[in-house]
A and B are shown apart, each in its own frame.
Chain A
Amino acid sequence: MKMKRIASMLMAGIMTLSLAACGGTGADTGSGTGTGTSTGTTTTGTTETGTTETGTTETGTTETGTADGEQITLKMWCIATESDSNRHSYEEAIKEMETKHPEVKLEWEAFENQSYKTKIKAAVAADEMPDIFFTWSCAFLGDFVEAGKVYCLDDVYANYKDELPEVMMGNSTYDGKHYGVPLTMNIVGLFANMDLLKEAGYDEIPGSYEDFIACCDALKGKGIIPFGCAGKETWCVTEYLESVIEKSAGADTLNDIFLGRASWNNQDVADAVDTFQELVKNEYFDPAGIGLTNDEVKANFMQGKYAFYMNGTWNCADFAADAEFSKKVKVGEFPVINADKSKLGQLIGGPSDTLAVAASSPNAAKAADYCMELGKYICHYGYLDGCGLPAWTPYGDTSTVNELTQTVAQIVAGADTMVLFGDTAQNADDANTYLSYVDQVYGSQIDGKGFIAGLAADIR
């Protein structure tokens, strides 16, 4: 019962959200967002009632794929390596697909995140793509779409409209056409080790920024490091920085900048960056974190080395799976810094993990159908595992979803605006320019002024 409530809350929340859509270029972008939101509102009614029954409708669509029995082989690349928290959901989903579609043989391979980016781009450049590939939405996929290398999913999507809200497709929609199958959706969460917070005299994650800072000072006083952040992987720094910018300058400001509608030359952003840098200068961050990878920082957090860890909510799965640690950890939202410009419910995140089909695939149409259904199952099992919130309408028994993910669902249900991760929202070149400057901010080599000036100059 409780789950059903959360699931419908979650869906209702998403429907009212303005999710940043990034399709097209320039003028198109504006209209893209418009359509995304309006479609969202129209579907609200159907989804709210539909949530409970999707379990039964699901079997109907499955049949469509199995029309003719000709044996084909599909290749898939993804990043669900052995150590990835999504691994299990991929394995389960593929197992299910194998029994449902014995005529399709799926050869899949997983690569480590960073080298995968290299690999898939090189493969796209050379027309050596696998039939189905994992991609990040918005700019990452957009480059491939623009080059005409991705198969359009509009035809197939028609069969799945009831199970996959169109608003969730927004980040992989370009010029009104759908190119990606979203899997899970994630936001940046503020994870807290409550045992450590208790030592500093706090029973809850502080709600206001002043309290939050006071809490950090108290933690420091007790010899506890407030934040863990992997300096070796800059995207981990952006998880902190983007939240600070959003909660000081406002979600719309940040979103417009990411989508190229506004210049980086914005004093509010500069001030926010200075605020963030103050956190660094006050030694709230673990100095050793600079030389660590995210895996290492995460392990440290789980061993009780840091009080807070800001990172994607995909971590819920791993935190919940650790019997000891799951009792200590809580997740919350970063407090508002400037109430004039921002408010609670402005979040960083959105559907980013996506599967897409190569236009060059000899079996593209079949691969598209297969990819849709596979995406649904990966999303389903991923949600059950706590790897993130579902982009697809949840079905079946979801009562086993861990508490952390449930809390995240509540946060998302109350969301106001979501701004997609900066490195996903911007095109590859701009994203890396951005990451480079974020790095320089974290290293205190430049301040807020230098940050906006540099970005405004380098991003054309």
Chain B
Amino acid sequence: MAEVKAVRPRRKGPDLKKALNIFLFLLPAILLFVGILVAPIAVSLYRSLQKWNGFSPGTFIGLKNYKELFTSGSIKWNTALKNSLLLAFFSVFVQLPFALLLALLLGRKYKGERFFLSVFFMPVLISTVVIGQLWLKIYNPDYGLLNTFLDLVHLSSWKHVWVGEVETALGSIIVPTIWQYVGYHMLLMYAGVKGVSPDLREAAMLDGATNWQVDRYVVIPIIKPIICTSVIFAVTGSLKTYDLVRILTEGGPFQSTEVPSTLLENMLFLRNRYGMGSAISVMLIILCFAFALVISAVFKNRDE
């Protein structure tokens, strides 16, 4: 009797207790995550199908918000999307290669390695709002550093109202964005480079490989997962851009530098269109996930 009964409770008891414990361990994280992220997004999804001004009850309108988003001449979603994709393009094909180059070079133990690392990482620590203000002073058409410098080197014809002209405004946002985060990606990649066993490197060198060849055929393949992460961060980060646009151009001139986040804010707070704002939120989530999936898939394919 004792034996039979002893087995059952021992099995069931700890299981239940274990489940409860797991639940308790996960509870704070789940509360935060679901309460602040998952549930609100579910609400956004639901609201995106409504015409809702934020105060009165909404009315269900199906996919009309999404349709209007793509067709309206004044909402500029297509411009916003194009801009953030362009930013993503420059991040992936200019910022990351440069960060990788720096990481590889510093990984070769040049003198002052630590100094350079520290300096390159510095902009990451400064608040983006500060960086934006600083660059505004650099771009200022009358007294800014950039135009003054162009005057100095007799290239006055190159002078521009940098954040105010359609041709240069987007570039004026892209440059500081890329500049600020080169250090971030560099340090991520540098970590990977340093993680490569010195023996591997040595062996390759003994076989007569040059530094470049070692980097190309030994280091880069090893740090591929880190590069993949960097690419995902760079792309989703570009889709989420907000601060620098708000500070440098406010989406202008002529709404040519709007990005999804500034549109989202306009919808909510300038136009009282919470339904449309929710539709933009949903589009952003879809885009971020889609890109993350595609990028990981691309990197996986390359591996095989």
- Which residues of A approach B to under 8 Å, CB–CB? 117-118, 121-122, 124-125, 143-144, 146-147, 149, 231-232, 287-292, 427-429, 432-433, 436-437, 439-440, 442-443, 445, 454, 457-458
Contacts and interface: CB of A to CB of B under 8 A. Distances in A.
A125 B164 contact: no
A436 B55 contact: no
A457 B141 contact: no
A290 B55 contact: no
B164 A232 contact: yes
B123 interface: no
Interface in B65-79: 72-76
Contacts, number: 97
Nearest to A430: B271
Given A288-B141, A288-B161, A429 B254 contact: no
B253 A443 contact: yes
B266 interface: yes
B56 A146 contact: yes
Interface in B246-304: 249-250, 252-256, 265-266, 268-274
9 contacts: A118-B265, A122-B54, A124-B54, A144-B55, A232-B250, A288-B142, A288-B164, A292-B164, A436-B74
A457 B268 CA distance: 22
B232 interface: no
B270 A291 contact: no
Interface string B177-218: 000000000000000000000000000000000000000000
Interface centre among A121, A143, A144 (most CB of B within 10 A): A121
Interface residues of B, number: 35
B165 interface: yes
B269 A458 contact: no
Given A436-B74, A436-B76, A290 B253 contact: yes
A231 B164 contact: yes
Contact of A429 (B139, B164, B255, B272): B272
Contact of B53 (A143, A232, A290): A143
B269 A118 contact: yes
A290 B269 contact: no
A122 B55 contact: no
Given A124-B55, A428-B271, A445 B74 contact: no
Contacts of A289: 164
A312 to B, nearest CB: 20
9 nearest A-B residue pairs (beta carbon): A291-B164, A443-B254, A118-B269, A147-B55, A436-B74, A125-B54, A290-B164, A433-B74, A291-B161
B144 to A, nearest CB: 10
Contact of B266 (A432, A439, A445): A432
A454 B255 CA distance: 15
A411 B277 CA distance: 43
A442 B254 contact: yes
Contacts of A118: 265, 268-270
A327 B75 CA distance: 44
Nearest to A440: B254
B88 interface: no
A460 to B, nearest CB: 10
B162 interface: yes
B72 A458 contact: yes
Contacts of B139: 291
B270 A439 contact: no
B54 A457 contact: no
Nearest to A441: B254
A121 B142 CA distance: 36
A448 to B, nearest CB: 15
A231 B161 CA distance: 12
A247 B274 CA distance: 37
B270 A432 contact: yes
A147 B254 contact: no
Given A231-B164, A428-B272, A457 B253 contact: no
Contact of B74 (A292, A443, A458): A458
A454 B73 contact: yes
Contacts of A290: 161, 164-165, 252-253
B163 interface: yes
B166 interface: yes
A143 B272 contact: yes
B147 to A, nearest CB: 10
A232 B252 contact: yes
A394 B169 CA distance: 47
Contacts of A437: 73-74
Contacts of B54: 121-122, 124-125
Given A121-B272, A290-B253, A432-B266, A457 B55 contact: no
Nearest to A140: B272
Given A117-B269, A122-B269, A149-B55, A291 B165 contact: yes
Contacts of B56: 146-147
